[in-house]
Amino acid sequence: MADPIFDVPRDSPEPVAPPSRETARALLRRGQFRTIFAAASVSELGDALQYIALMWFALEQAGPLGVVAVRLADSLPAFFFGLHGGLAADRWSRKRLMISADAARTIILIPVAVAGLSGSLPIWGLIVAAFLLEAANSYFIPAYGATVPAVVEKQNSQAAMALLSSTTQAISIGGWAVAAALLTFMPVSVFFGVNAATFALSGLILTRLREPQRAPLEDGSVHVREGISVLLPRRALMTAVVVFAIAMTITTGSWIAGIPTISRDSLHEGASGFSLLMIGFAVGSIAVGAFLTRVHVRRKARASVLAWALYLPAYGLIAIAGSLPLAIVGAFFSGLGESSSWVLLNSAAQEEIPDAVLGRVLGVISLVHRGAHATGLLFVSPLFAVFSARPIFLVSALVLPVIAVVSAAITTRLAATALAKPA
């Protein structure tokens, strides 16, 4: 193009290439990401063992109601501490917050392990421990989630979160297998001690993390409302968060109460069948994690919403399954749906939200994720005491895709309307 006065040709501006995205292997070559990856992997192994111990002790001490009480105790803290955990991740050092949370969980679990080994662990002690552990987790998760994009760059957030998700699910399967082997010669309460050790080791690993550079706060203050205000105008992301809350309430409440019921009453498989269904879910999570490390999704928030449509084959197959293999396929699709929605929602926030408020937005997502376990237990799980399991799974299989498709269509319409408005 020529200058209108001097008729001197101007060079056209060079198009700016988008930042390149890295493969999972390339991400693992980053020392700082390897530190986060190692800490998460070690901690997940202990969590897998602790899950077995927590549920078993609750069942032995107080039966099914004990299990419900413990599951509520490890879900309710999200409502009390979820938003403040996000606030803390933006106000204070994220590295120190993660290390402190690991230290707190180590301290909480040591007396639990001692009491369990001595045979004096009451159900109320287990409930208190579950509550405190999840309270500490409410501070760890937003700091952890906000650190990932600072370490790998925002354009690599999806691959990083998918890799972390698939790895932790694979470790869960390994942890359950290790638990089965260890229980042949040691008491289950040892697992509490093992998890205390893994939290301590995770904290030690995180001391190697270099604190990513962050812009100083403009006025030195941090408020929860700023995280909400930055989320509200992002209609696709906000819709994805709301849909995630609704869908997780339905799926979690159905899974916690319904899968053991289906395994025992409909498939006549008992605990072994339940274990295989859990593994089917984990394998689905691993598969979608591996897929999302390789395939970049552009409209992540919208894709996170549409992922819940996978529950049509997921819960549909579980509802009609006359054999364990068919139900396992349904569990596999459940893992695909929930894990893809979780990875895409978190990575959408990590890419779209400025670092200064990212912790608070991830705190909202963490609240929704963990809080949905409580709302599912309170509002969906009791239905299994009144109705048979199959119709509930069938209704869920039909409702979830409708929510997904309608919400995605509304989001698209709102985005088109916003673009059509004159500036």
- Give the pLDDT of residue 18: 56
C-alpha torsion angle, residues 287, 290, 296, 300 (rounded to 10): 50
* CATH code of the region 235-352+386-418: 1.20.1250
As a whole number of angstroms, the distance between CA 350 and CA 153 comes to 9
Beta-strand ranges (E) seen in 118-214 are none
CATH topology for 29-155+172-223 is: Growth Hormone; Chain: A; (1.20.1250)
Q: What is the pLDDT of residues 123-154, one digit of tens each?
A: 899 999 999 999 999 999 999 999 999 999 89
Distance of CA 236 to the CA centre of its chain: 19
d(CA 94, CA 288): 28
Q: How many CB atoms lie within 10 A of CB 5?
A: 6
Burial code (b: 16+ CB inside 10 Å, e: under 16) for 75-100 equals bbbbeebbbbbbbbbbbeebbebbbb
**CA–CA separation, 339 vs 286, rounded Å?**
9
Residue 1 has pLDDT above 80, yes or no: no
Q: Do domains 29-155+172-223 and 235-352+386-418 have the same CATH topology?
A: yes
**pLDDT tens for each residue of 268-319:** 876 677 778 888 999 999 999 999 999 999 899 999 999 999 999 999 999 9
Q: What one-character DSSP code corresponds to residue 211?
A: P
Listed by start position, the domains of the chain span 29-155+172-223, 235-352+386-418
**Overall average pLDDT of the 65-91 stretch:** 89
Contact 206, 95 (CB under 8 A): yes
- The CA distance from 252 to 29, in Å, is 36
* Position with higher pLDDT, 205 vs 229: 205
**What predicted TM-score, i.e. pTM, was given to this entire model?**
0.87
Q: Per residue in 362-415, pLDDT tens? A: 999 999 999 999 999 999 989 988 899 999 999 999 999 999 999 999 888 776
Residue whose token pair is 């089917």: 280
Residue 15: predicted pLDDT: 47
